[in-house]
A = this chain, B = another copy of it.
Amino acid sequence: MLEFAKEEISAFLNKNNIKELLFVPFAQNNFDDYTNKIKGIIDHWGFSVTGLHTYPEPKKAVSSAKAIFIGGGNTFLLLDRLYTHNLVDLIKTRVLDGKLAYIGSSAGTNVATKSIHTTNDMPIIYPPSFEAIGLVPFNINPHYTDKNENEMHKGETRDQRISEYISMPHANPVLGLREGSILHVDGNSLILKGVAGAVLFQKGGKKTEYSVGQNISFLLEEQKSY
């Protein structure tokens, strides 16, 4: 877990001269266990991880942090808790102002985008909105696969699900991230990194493959322009 991202995360933090990482375990229910699991990996890389749940005032902890890592689990639960603690706008503002480095995995990447409309998770709680932090002007679908996972029953394929969303009037473009794919945003630059590519779904059914190393900065422009 996370080993494929070690070099990227280390370089990202070192470049910004960051030694401490605030971990947000809200997508799962056992905050201590999840934080310790992540700490057990990342501390060995030379960084110090603390869990957001260990601070009496989450807003204050986020306000003074230099880097935040939001982990995976259930996206609905995560977004609901981010709203409960009034962290959505705070994180957005601090990241866009260049004061907070943001790392997310799975549900933690979903909430970094425009909305959670394209999560794969079960809607176990009703959040006040599906709109999310919005660090980028598109949606992602994590764990994207074009394999048919549903041969055993009449469920839909992932592509069918994403197409249902794309056909909605309010839909944003969707970047399907294959397992092991990393998005590296730095100012106006967006590079696809990691060990697997991504697939972009756009209005009208257009589907485009991108491979590791490609510059896809055009995705950071508002959607009307592409």
Contact = CB atoms under 8 A, between A and B. Distances in A.
Contacts of A130: 123, 126
Nearest to A105: B154
A117 B121 contact: no
A182 to B, nearest CB: 15
A224 interface: no
B179 A124 contact: no
A155 B143 contact: yes
A74 interface: yes
Interface string A23-59: 0000001000000000000000000000000000000
A168 B153 CA distance: 27
Given A147-B152, A153-B143, A179-B154, A164 B120 contact: no
Interface in A137-181: 143, 145, 147, 149-150, 152-155, 161-162, 164-165, 167-168, 170-171, 179
B152 A122 contact: no
A4 to B, nearest CB: 12
Q: How many copies does the complex hold?
A: 2
Contacts of A29: 167
Contacts of A124: 117, 164-165, 168, 171
A131 B172 CA distance: 26
B165 A153 contact: no
7 contacts: A120-B122, A123-B123, A125-B168, A126-B129, A143-B154, A149-B152, A153-B179
Interface of A: 29, 74, 76-77, 106, 116-126, 129-130, 143, 145, 147, 149-150, 152-155, 161-162, 164-165, 167-168, 170-171, 179
